[in-house]
Amino acid sequence: MRKSIALFGTSADPPTIGHKKILEELSKIYAFTISYVSNNPNKKHKENISIRSHLLKTLIEDLDNPKIIFNQRISSQWAEESIKNCKKIYELNKLDFVIGSDLIKDIFCWKNFDQILKEVNFFIILREGYPIESSTLKMLETYKVKFKISNIKIPNISSSKFRLNFNYSNLPTSLIDIVKKNNLYLPTKLIE
């Protein structure tokens, strides 16, 4: 049996209990899950990439699961480069690229999309409030995208929801003290 490998890049701004659940569930499906933090060119990030990568690394170390690997050397703002970096470092031919249903319709505009299609299969994680629309499914079929839709159930929390509501219970326990002690993600107050 060939080893199946998942590549899970994320903005992790910050990593939430949703990220934790995804990593835990991926480790039940894949021989290995390789994760890293990237700068999404379509997002404005609250904290810089070194802080976010430290948080994700801490979360993964706390999970203490040999099937989940953190490797920031893979990171690029472009998916194609991250995929190539991963394949080169780990000498892989096959790879599943993990993506949330909130982002799946964006892949058609990604840099070198045609090349990415040759490099990976997509593993789509459904996020509450972001169903995969029939028009997106038709486009996936039209472009002959190889994909699987997961049945992983994740908490209805995202990094952006955390930043809006600032509820520490939405963070993995291992990150709460780091976020508090370093005054990370504090809401921006308007000065009048």
pLDDT tens digit string along 9-25?
999 999 999 999 999 99
Summarize pLDDT for 42-80 with one digit per residue, the tens. Answer: 889 999 999 999 999 999 999 999 999 999 999 999 999
Q: What's the pLDDT band for 190 if we cut at 50, 70, 90? A: very low
Contact between residue 152 and residue 25 where contact means Cβ atoms under 8 Å apart? yes
Q: Where are the domains of the chain?
A: 5-181
pLDDT digits (tens, 9 = 90+) for 75-119: 999 999 999 999 999 999 999 999 999 999 999 999 999 999 999
Element (H, E) at 69: strand 68-70
Mean of per-residue pLDDT scores for the chain? 94
Predicted confidence (pLDDT) at residue 122 exceeds the cutoff of 60? yes
Percent of the chain with pLDDT over 70: 96
Residues in a beta bridge with 140: none
Q: Which amino acid is at 80?
A: E
Residue range 127-149: mean pLDDT, rounded? 95
Distance CA 181, CA 164 (A): 19
pLDDT for residue 188 is more than 90: no
DSSP string of 13-45, one letter each residue? SS--HHHHHHHHHHHHHSSEEEEEE---TTS--
**pLDDT beyond 70 at 192:** no
pTM score, whole prediction: 0.93
Architecture of domain 5-181 in this structure: 3-Layer(aba) Sandwich (3.40)
Percent share of the chain, pLDDT over 90: 90
User: Tokens 């508090």, residue?
Assistant: 180
